[in-house]
Chains A and B, each alone.
Chain A
Amino acid sequence: MQLVIQNLYKTYPGGVRALDNISMTIPTGMFGLLGPNGAGKSTLMRTLATLQTADSGSAMLGDWDVLNDKKRVREILGYLPQEFGVYPRTSATVLLTHLATLKGVGRHSAERREIVAGLLQRVNLFDVRNKSVANYSGGMRQRFGIAQALLGDPKLLIVDEPTAGLDPGERNRFYNLLSEVGESVVVILSTHIVEDVKELCTNMSIIHNGRLLFAGSPSQAEASLDGRIWAKSMTKEELRKCQAEMDVISSKLIEGRPVVHVYSEGNPGDGFSMVEPNLEDVFFSQIKNSSRAA
């Protein structure tokens, strides 16, 4: 089963074009949706999660019309929004059971109880299941989020910026959990963190200002820049000069000195050395290109 998105448009009342002719095909497995803040990722995710309407275009998951047959899609949808809260004074068991009922999981309450207990065990929240979710730490709450997204047997799992606010350990553990799920279903993971995609996803796309800039696998992406990324460590004065003269993709501090990555068809000389392009280079160069084109 795969999700086919065609010519999706969305313009907000203020005139912001959030989705601008987005078309892509998302196969089963983990799919990374990469883009800077405000690129339109959340709009796309919410649209696929039936929470928002597109102006035009279509999205088909197998035979299901995601945009129009909302009720059926919701039955096979698992959704973890970017930011979510919970009802106050409500325990994990109560809340998850409630969500399970809403989803229609479990034919009777005994079965539902069993499923909820199983899921809570799965995300290792079983021991704290009777505590108020509102008092969970960020990581635990995120795991609760994944547990509710896994209720039933989702065919489409949408995970929007799930690791924001998690420490590296929590993040790792969270991804391990996610990757186990993502084998038989379509999992869309939106993020602005490049490593996330690289570590997890077999396919990815980059969107920026509502437009699709790239679609393919992370390695394809990296290969597209093969031999064109050059790096150099320099002083801050040099950096300023370099930014003015060259096609700088990124600069970050390593041991206090700026290390600059530039895009160049040939060797720019001046102490630059060729480096293996990484996904970050792809991301930044795509965004740069698109901004320049715009």
Chain B
Amino acid sequence: MEFFKFELRFWTRGFMVYVFLGIVALLFGFATGSDNVQVGSAIGNTYRNAPYVIMQYYVAAGLLAALMVSAIYDSAASRDFATKFSDVLFSKPIGKWNYLIGRFSAATLVAIIPSLGILVGMVVAKWFSSMDAERWGPIRWDAHALGILVFVIPNTLLVGSVVFAIAAWTRNTMYSFLGVLLLMVAYGVSQAVLSDLSNEYWAMLIDPLGGAPYSVLTKYWTVDQRNNWCLPMSGILFLNRAIWFCVALAVFALASWRFSFATGRVRGGIEVKGALVPEVEAQAGLIEWPRVVPQPSWFSQLRSCVRLDVFAVMRTPAFIVVLCAAMLNTTIALFVGATEGYGLSSFPVTYKMVDLVRGSLFGFLIPVITYFVGVVVWRDRDSKIQEIVGATPVPNSVFVVSRFISLLTVIMTILVCTILLSCSVQLYYGYNRLQPRVYALELIVIEALRFGFFIVMAMLAHTFSPNKYVGYFAFIVLIILNAFLWPWLRIDSIMVRFGRLPTYIYSDMFGFAPYSGAIVAHAIYWMAGAAIALWICSVALHRGVPRSIKARLFEGLSSASSKSKGFVSAAALVMLLQGSWLVYNTQFLNTFVGSVEEEKRRVRYENAYSNLENIPQPRVTSIQYEIEIYPETRNMRMRGKQTILNKSDVPIEVFYINVPSTLKTSLVIPNAKLELDEKDLAFQTYRMHPAMEPGQSLEMTFEVQSETRGVENRVSNPEIVQNGTFFNNSLAPHFGYDPDRRIMDPNIRKKYKLAPADTVPELTRDCGVACLSHYVALDADWVDVETVISTSMDQIAVAPGSLLEKWTTGGRNYFKYKLDHPSLNFYSFISARYEVDRSKAGDVDIEVYYHPEHKWNVPRMSQAVKAALDYCVTEFGPYRHKQARIIEFPRVASFAQAFPGTMPYSESIGFIAKMDKPDDIDMVYYVVAHEMAHQWWAHQVIGARMQGATLLSETLAQYTALMIMRKEYGPDMMHKFLRYEMDLYLRARGAERQKERPLISVDPNQGYIHYRKGSVALYYLAEMIGEQRINSALKNIIESYAYKGPPYPNSHVLVDRLRKQTPEELQYLIKDLFEDITIFANRTIDAKASKQEDGKYLVKLEVECSKYKADDKGLETECGMDDWMEVGAFANPEAGQRYGALLHRERVQLKSGKHQLEFTVAQKPYQAGIDPRNFLIDRMPDDNMKKVDVD
């Protein structure tokens, strides 16, 4: 008791605990009260203080708290030894258990305090936040209590017992932190394991902090459930907590049992300090010593200092410990990172490895630098040798440069090791395209520069601080200021953010080319800046007795040599010249719009012009392009001659035209006078004299120039590059008010007092004006396009349609393309140094344009194109283009997109995908099939611009791709694929920012519905009514609507036809799948089987089912059911397989509630249950099947 009280008093009187509490409260207070700070995953529409968020914060705090907790326990365990008080204390008659338990329980109590900061922060944030009241729920004390009980207390005990044990054992703080780091690595492993759906169970158990079971169990919670539910401590969460609680107790008990007062150590503990050196007496004899006149040399002094400083860091236990943890983490990340979600592997390409290194290593390197800059700067003082060293004839500059170089050397050493590690991982995966140049430029040049600037900033902070701790604090303040002050002041120029280089993206296609100029220019500028900063460090160096910064600066400045002054003047001159050049380049040659300004412009646009939304405007009917691409200079000129037609029945007096905001544009319109030119809004109005009569057509021309001038603050137009130019016709001017330029985020809309808005109009069955345009292009229907496109000699340029002609003039390649069939006014222009793979499917040319180094999946791609063509032509209708092209483009974006006859595909997805395991999902095949399907579903039938439009394009493309894949890979593979689709759908529901809609009225931005849920729904429907019935509905749609409109079809067109194809007893499916949000809760309670006399098995099942309908916030209400459900049984799976052979399946009609079922199977069943193949949307898919008890 005495020890308990004493320990408690020690902490409550100190300030550390309160500082910790304050940090946690601030962090989580801001995370709760501000949209700018986010902890854990995004919470979308959920209340800021929902119970789900509260619990998530207690989970998220686990890692942060672990560090604080370990500091507290470590101190409790080793303070007596560190202060040598142990000699006094242990001579007293005290009980060992008394001592240990007293200390430990008090430390536990204290260590819980910091985590209470979450409670404080969240409760206080509600009052201080400027957010709307409707984004807040009531304060949920029960969730806080549960969070503390389930996460904070067990985690504190676990971290505490490990630290306490290690500290009592080794008496060395460093090893305690190593223990904590190992726990963190265990956490990291569990997170990595979690990314594969089939490992969920084990991942949930091995996460020592309980985060994995929490996130898995709540992953499908909807907004409503997140707002109202507290996850009870039961099931696997309880198991996880129990396991780790026992681990904690066992560790503590073991350490206590081995602890002994006699030596003040745990028996078998580690001897930390080296033994004293045996005494050697001075001898009296006279030995002359060499006397030499010193000739100090700057470089040999520097070399010696660097050597010692590097050693000082690298031989510190702290460094070794952290380095080991970092390398372990990076190794795991590298090995695991090669496998992405969807059970898909990709080639471990170098840029990917570099990104993995950034993600896994830098989190360690930044604290390492922060800590060791302090260590190195204050090392002479800390080891009390500063007077000796200070009295040597070493110029200050040697110390400063040495510290800088040493820290950089340490970082470089780690980076080089990591590069070797990455290369080994690449080789391990049988990938031998190692790209040392990319590694070198990314990690050794660019990252080393950034780290260099970071080090300089830290050294500056320490130079201006009277001691190490103030230095650390000052540095952190400096970092925060450098990161947040400028955005807050609305200054977007990176020239004020110390050490900031422009953002860039490496691509195998263009290297760093579009960015290299800006990077080099800023690097020179900041290198000069860093030189000045180092010079200041050297002038104001801490040397000799401690003095104020003023005194040091004064003396340093007055005694600076002319060489030193020359150096700083030169650096200042470079910075000034380079700075002015940069200002000229970024502010005058180029302009950039800050993010806030951009927002304001969009608000102004909406406020000023939204009333024009339905005003008739001319529509484009045909365009002839002349496009010149100059890859070397990143310039582009696009001239278009287009025919426009007044399709409305009123004369058009005014043209409203959106022009590209960043490009130089000129328009020539006959009979038109420029009336208004809103440059900021990139919006022009032209008055027509005379007005354009209904049915009248005109020819107008436009010219758009993209010109790259000097370097920019942020590289704009990354679509026009040295190799891999890819842009679409949205660069051309277009008519009418463009609703896509509105801000759609509901919270930002509220901030600017804009009324809530939907992306597109509501779905209406009988639509008038709303069905007159489709959702892809507002100012055109079906257009003819002809293009003459030119590029440099070594590149191929591609435009929509058939290549009619190809020639060379003036050292440039020219190509003439023409669309074979009028198409949507939505197509791309591309130019790069391509290799082309050509083949034929009937009359259609299949062409894959690819970067020569990315040839791996090219054959699969053209195979998939053929399979898709085959399927779609047979099932839906003819393909109207004479070619199908897949074209690789750089990883500035990572998607694939379908344009008429052309499918640009990012280098970062299918081109690097790798399939070597038999159960890998063939993403290449899937994506190509999806994009090919768009040639029918979007490019032939396009939905009217209203909700549900993407059901006709994206969902049908998904469906088509699934059917094509099923043909190739069989239904088992689809089962695996659909599990991911289902998972993604259910997960995304909780993060919905507006309303979850049913499929029929899906919003174009709700990808999780039109792709993910769409896949699941249509696959199930195909399963229930048959693929043929669906396809005949689809064929009918093609027949009625292909290349037709306006008016354009809406989603009722599809749903009505499907309803017609659905037999009477399954009609409920149409409502459940398309018109409502339907969720099931099906489970198998019991599964038994007994062998019959005929050798067959009689399976007896007890199942329970219920069906729910959810509203747009995810509030579920049970509804009665009388549905056809599948029941069945699987055989024992073969080794390495997840499912055994399907032994039996039958469809039975079930009402809500429990049911007894029986069937016989020929083989011994392994698993049996309801909805065995997880067709239905079920929040707990894993309890559908149960292992069968066989008598």
Query: Using a CB–CB distance below 8 Å, which chain A residues touch chain B?
Result: 13, 46, 49-53, 68, 70-72, 74-77, 79-81, 83-90, 94, 97-99, 101-107, 111, 114-115, 118-119, 121-125, 127-128, 131-132, 134-137, 139-140, 143, 145, 148, 150-153, 169-170, 173-174, 176-177, 180
Interface hit among B276-284, B743-751, B789-797, B967-975: B276-284
Tell whether A101 pairs with B292 under 8 Å between CB atoms, given A51-B390, A81-B388, A87-B308. no
Q: Per a CB cutoff under 8 Å, which of B292, B389, B543 touches A99?
A: B389
CA distance A141 to B1190 in the complex (A): 81
Q: Which 10 A-B pairs have the closest CB atoms?
A: A104-B296, A85-B384, A51-B544, A74-B393, A104-B294, A101-B304, A81-B387, A173-B282, A153-B291, A102-B392
Determine if A118 and B290 form an interchain contact, defined as CB atoms under 8 angstroms apart: yes
Q: Is the CB of B277 within 8 A of A131?
A: yes
What is the distance, in angstroms, from B229's C-beta to the closest C-beta of chain A?
Answer: 55
Chain B: CB-nearest residue to A146: B282
Instruction: Give the docked Cα–Cα distance between A114 and B391 (Å).
Output: 23
Do B385 and A84 have beta carbons less than 8 Å apart? yes
- Which residue from chain B places its CB closest to the CB of A143 in the assembled complex? B282
Contact B282 A177 (CB under 8 A): yes
Of chain B, the residue at the smallest CB distance from A121 is B287
Could you tell me if B544 and A102 are in contact, using CB atoms closer than 8 angstroms?
no
Question: In the complex, which residue of chain A has the Cβ closest to the Cβ of B387?
Answer: A81
- Determine which of B295, B301, B555, B559 lies in contact with A102 in the assembled complex, contact meaning CB atoms within 8 Å: B301
Closest-CB distance, B306 to chain A (whole angstroms): 11
Question: Which A residue sits closest to B389, measured CB to CB?
Answer: A102
Residue numbers in B under 8 Å from A49 (CB-CB): 387, 391
Tell me which residues across on chain B come within 8 A of A119, comparing CB atoms. Answer: 289-290
User: Assuming A85-B383, A106-B292, what are 7 further A-B pairs, CB within 8 angstroms?
Assistant: A51-B391, A79-B391, A102-B304, A102-B389, A128-B278, A140-B280, A153-B291
In Å, the complex CA distance between A85 and B387 comes to 10
CB distance B384 to A176 under 8 Å?
no
Chain A residues, CB < 8 A from B290: 114-115, 118-119
- Contacting A75 at CB < 8 Å: which of B277, B294, B315? B294
What residues of A have a CB within 8 angstroms of the CB of B278 in the complex? Answer: 128
| A83, A85, A148: residue with the most chain B Cβ atoms closer than 10 Å | A85
| Contacts A/B (CB < 8 Å), 23 sampled | A13-B548, A50-B544, A52-B545, A53-B551, A79-B387, A86-B383, A98-B305, A102-B305, A102-B392, A119-B290, A121-B289, A124-B282, A128-B280, A132-B277, A137-B276, A137-B279, A151-B294, A152-B291, A152-B293, A153-B292, A174-B282, A176-B284, A177-B282
Residue of A nearest to B289 (CB): A122
Residue of chain B at shortest CB distance from A46: B545
Q: List the B side residues contacting A118 at CB < 8 Å.
A: 287, 289-290
Contacts of B42 in A (CB 8 A): none
Question: By the criterion CB–CB under 8 Å, are A105 and B545 in contact?
Answer: no
Q: Kindly list chain A residues whose C-beta atoms are within 8 Å of the C-beta of B304.
A: 97-98, 101-102
The interface residues of chain A lying within 8 Å CB-to-CB of B562 are: none
Are B385 and A71 interface neighbours, CB within 8 A?
Answer: no
Give Cα A131 to B280, complex, Å.
Answer: 12
| Chain B contact residue count (CB 8 A cutoff) | 53
| B388 and A79 within 8 A (CB) | yes
State which of A13, A137, A153, A173 has its C-beta within 8 Å of the C-beta of B277.
A137
Question: For the complex, what is the distance from the CA of A125 to the CA of B393, rounded to whole Å?
Answer: 25
Closest residue of chain A to B308 (Cβ to Cβ) is: A98
Q: How far is the CA of A119 from the CA of B548 in the complex (A)?
A: 37
Contacts A70-B559, A85-B384, A124-B281 given; does A104 touch B545 at CB 8 Å:
no
Asked whether any CB of chain A lies closer than 8 Å to the CB of B297, the reply is: yes
CA distance A123 to B289 in the complex (A): 10
**Contact (Cβ within 8 A) B301 A104:** yes
> Could you say which of B293, B384, B551 contacts A153, with CB atoms under 8 Å apart?
B293
Known A52-B545, A83-B384, A87-B383; judge A124-B301 contact (CB<8 A): no
Q: Is B614 interfacial (CB 8 A cutoff)?
A: no
User: B554 — nearest CB in chain A belongs to which residue?
Assistant: A53
B234 at the interface (CB under 8 A from A): no
Whether B282 contacts A123 by the Cβ 8 Å rule is: yes
Check if B280 sits within 8 Å of A51, measured CB to CB. no
**CB atoms of A99 and B277 under 8 A apart:** no
Q: Please pick, from A51, A121, A143, A150, the residue contacting B387 in the complex, using a CB distance under 8 A.
A: A51
Assess the B274–A132 pair: CB atoms within 8 A. yes
A87–B312 contact, CB under 8 A? Answer: yes
Q: Taking the nearest CB of chain A, how far is it from the CB of B387, in angstroms?
A: 4
Q: Which residues of A contact B687 (CB under 8 A)?
A: none
Given contacts A89-B315, A137-B279, contact A53 B555 (CB under 8 A): yes
List, in ascending order, chain B residues with CB within 8 A of A74's CB.
391-394
Return chain A residues, CB-CB under 8 Å to B305: 98, 102
Cβ–Cβ < 8 Å partners of A170 in chain B: 281-282
Cβ–Cβ contact A84 & B384, under 8 A:
yes
Q: With a CB–CB cut-off of 8 A, which chain B residues contact A97?
A: 304
Q: A51-B391, A79-B387 are in contact. Are A150 and B294 (CB under 8 A)?
A: no
B286 close to chain A: CB less than 8 A: yes
B289 near A127 with CB under 8 A, answer no
Report the separation of the CA atoms of residues A202 and B555 in the bound assembly, to the nearest whole angstrom. 36
CA of A176 to CA of B287, assembled, Å: 13
| Bound: A85/B311 CA distance, A | 17
B279-331 with Cβ < 8 A to chain A = 279-284, 286-287, 289-297, 300-301, 303-305, 307-308, 311-312, 315
Q: What residues on B are CB-neighbors of A80 within 8 Å?
A: 388
1/0 contact trace for B363-394 toward A, CB 8 Å?
00000000000000001000111011111111
Instruction: Assess whether B274 is in contact with A135, with CB atoms less than 8 Å apart.
Output: yes
- Chain B min CB distance to A233 (Å): 38
Q: Answer whether A148 and B388 are a contact pair too, CB < 8 Å, given A101-B300, A102-B393, A174-B282.
A: yes
